[in-house]
Structure 1
Amino acid sequence: MMSAYIDFIRMRFLMMLAYRVNYYSGIIIYAINIGAYYFLWKAIYGAQDTLAGFSIDQMTTYLAISWMARAFYFNNLDRDIANEIRDGSVAIQMIRPYNYLVVKLMQGFGEGLFRFLLFMIPGLAIVCLIFPVDLPTDPVVWLTYLAMLVFSFLINSQINIITGLFAFFVENNEGLMRMKRVMVDLFSGVIIPIAFFPGWLSAIMSWLPFQAITYLPSAIFTGRTPMSEAGEVFLIQLAWLLVLLVPILIMWRAARQRLFVQGG
């Protein structure tokens, strides 16, 4: 059975490879986004050396690695699940001899692997040539960050799966998917690092899973959070990974007992 799931990773990777030109253009778009935020933050810093614990060099590195990491963990599992529920093809998927949600996760990982190799790595290299990005030289930092990035993918995918499964209970969850995307980008720290939020809001966000997707791993990578606290970050990511399994299992159980297909 595991080999079958691995095949789903391979097939999604090959499917993405057929449309790789779209992702090459995406590198340019991400570089433009990073550039826009770089000049914005440079103007905000002015003559100041640090803001909210970030130096300007750390902020530049944070912007680059956060946006490029987004290329890896981002996926459209919520939209894929919602579309299959609406067109009724999920009924066929549910009677096949594999777990539907695990298949979706494997497909998302195949897409993420493609993005990592052909989007994130070359994109980061290009950005480093354009902007003063200060990458760490310690291989332990890189290995730690890559491990955290896998958790980022899993947590983001769980949130997407939960959002997609809502299509079982509402006729159209398009608005919910859009709201989720904005919340992930904003509250995960891609747009604004969580350290810059007001104290009361950052306290609330510390109880949400979004920080475990981008902010905490990127803070370790840039040195804003010392490596001695990496274990705590892993524990937070692991905790959210387990916590998010609960609503997924509850919703999946309810969905299997109540399947409503629109249009036959």
Structure 2
Amino acid sequence: MNTYKHKPKNTIQKHIDILKATVLATYKEWAAYRSHMAVSIFVGPVFFLVQVFIWNAVYSINDSVSGLTLNQMLTYYGVVTVINYLTFDSADWNLQMLIRTGKFITFMLRPVSHCYYAFCQKIGHRLLALWVEFIPVYLLFLLVFKINLVPANLIWALISATLGFILMFLMNYCIGITGFWLTKTEGLRRAFIILRDLCAGVLVPLTLFPGFIQKILFFLPFQFITYVPTRVFIGSYELAGISLPIPYVVGMQAVAVIIMFLIYKLLWSLGIKRFTGVGA
């Protein structure tokens, strides 16, 4: 008699299997609608062209702005644009929609946390975006606009971009969690997006803000989403008159990710108690 019993997979292997399955499923799902995603290819270049027109006008009367030359300024916006293609996230909208419609109840019955599942979905979505959005725009900036998109240090740039990727997800997911308290989070989401992009250095480099505002921004986590990965890509970091070595600022970025993860755990433990499955 065969007494062999199948041993359950360890937790790490289980999560790896979930990661692979979810990433592949999400990739295939969005690949069927890749033309919809490809439309965003025009968004980045158009945003960049607007910056070209604005800053060409500004630099026609000034040789430098906050110590940045025209070429450095355009390089900054070029790097910001391609990084945003990598870190784009909609976890906030997805989660609040599941909560509002009551469909989130199905995830309470699954043997994996929704946060991990959503993160795996983001990886699959951004892997597709890598060749649909990122690479075409990267080549456009590099070959047509002649923007230097070669990182000063590839390893540090990849680490910083990855941390920015994770931090963007955690922040957006925390906004989605507010759906446990709010009927709709659309207003909060839009206000947060504006605040996030402004404080993350997407709209303007943070060094253009007045000194006292820069000091506030230095202690906020938003800079670690876009501004820090961009400065790490360029090879130097400065904010509020503080210049830091790249390894040090990437370490700060890692700490910000850990803190945001703890905030997510706190909000989740409080919010999940309020879920009633209304609408399911």
Could you state the TM-score of these two structures normalised by the residue count of structure 2? 0.88
Give unmatched runs, 5+ long, in structure 2.
Answer: 1-13
User: Does structure 2 conserve the Cα–Cα contact (< 8 Å) formed by 1:85 and 1:261?
Assistant: yes
Aligned equivalent of 1:108 = 122
Moved more, 68-77 or 159-168: 68-77
Deviation at 1:225, TM superposition (A): 3.0
Q: Which of 86, 90, 114 matches 1:72?
A: 86
Deviation at 1:256, TM superposition (A): 2.7
Deviation of 1:173 after TM superposition, in Å, equals 1.1
1:14 matched to 2:25? The reply is no
Superposed displacement of residue 77, structure 1: 0.4
Moved more, 40-49 or 144-153: 40-49
Percent identity, aligned pairs only? 24
The residue type paired with residue 145 of structure 1 is: A
For normalisation by structure 1, the TM-score amounts to 0.93
Query: Which of these residues, 254, 263, 271, is aligned with residue 247 of structure 1?
Result: 263
Provide closer, same or farther for how the CA distance between residues 184 and 147 of structure 1 changes in structure 2, counting only shifts above 3 A: same
Write the deviation string for residues 28-77 of structure 1: whole angstroms up to 9, x where unpaired: 22111101112211211225332223221111111111011111101110
Larger radius of gyration: 2
1:58/1:223 contact within 8 Å kept: no
Aligned match of 1:181: 193
- Aligned equivalent of 2:39: 25
SS of equivalent to 1:51: coil
Partner residue in 2 for 1:129: 143
Distance in 2 of aligned mates of 1:45 and 1:262: 56
By how many angstroms is 1:224 displaced? 4.3
Distance 1:112 1:195 in 2: 29
Correspondent of 1:190 among 194, 202, 207: 202
CA gap of 1:33–1:202, structure 2 versus 1, over 3 A, is same
SS in 2 for 1:134: coil
Equivalent residue for 2:154?
142
The SS at the match of 2:111 is coil
CA distance in 1, matches of 2:248, 2:129: 28
CA distance in 1, matches of 2:149, 2:109: 48
Instruction: Please show how residues 81-230 of structure 1 align to structure 2 within 5 Å.
Output: 81-136=95-150, 141-225=153-237, 229-230=245-246
1:33 is aligned with what amino acid? F
| Residue in 2 that maps onto 1:234 | 250
Selected match of 1:44 from 58, 81, 85 = 58
Aligned residues between the structures: 262
The amino acid of 1:161's aligned partner reads Y
- Residue ranges of structure 1 left out of the alignment (5+ in a row): none
Which amino acid is 1:213 matched to? I
Instruction: Tell me how far apart the structure 1 counterparts of residues 20 and 114 of structure 2 sit (CA, whole Å).
Output: 14
